[in-house]
Amino acid sequence: MKDGIFLKEMGSKIKAERLANKHSLRELGLLAGLHLTSLWFIENGRKDIHILNLKKIADVYNKDVKDFL
């Protein structure tokens, strides 16, 4: 799988979880300690995500990191 496709699929999973929990980007950012602009780029597959930042997002939703891969 190409990197761009992988990032878009991962971002879509993060976005779907965020929307299922009725969080805005700003709310997720506050809960995870990440900037909303970074989250937007991540959700749209335009930015690589550091594994520890992915863990922060997973922790907000009581998920395992692998659920977003």
Q: What is the mean pLDDT of residues 2-7?
A: 93
Res 69 pLDDT > 90: yes
Above 90 in pLDDT, residue 29?
Answer: yes
C-beta atoms surrounding 34 within 10 Å: 19
**For residue 56, with 0-12 CB atoms within 10 Å meaning exposed, 13-18 middle and 19 or more buried, which class applies?**
middle
> What pLDDT does 1 receive?
78
Tokens of 32: 């995870």
Inform me whether the pLDDT recorded for 17 exceeds 90.
yes
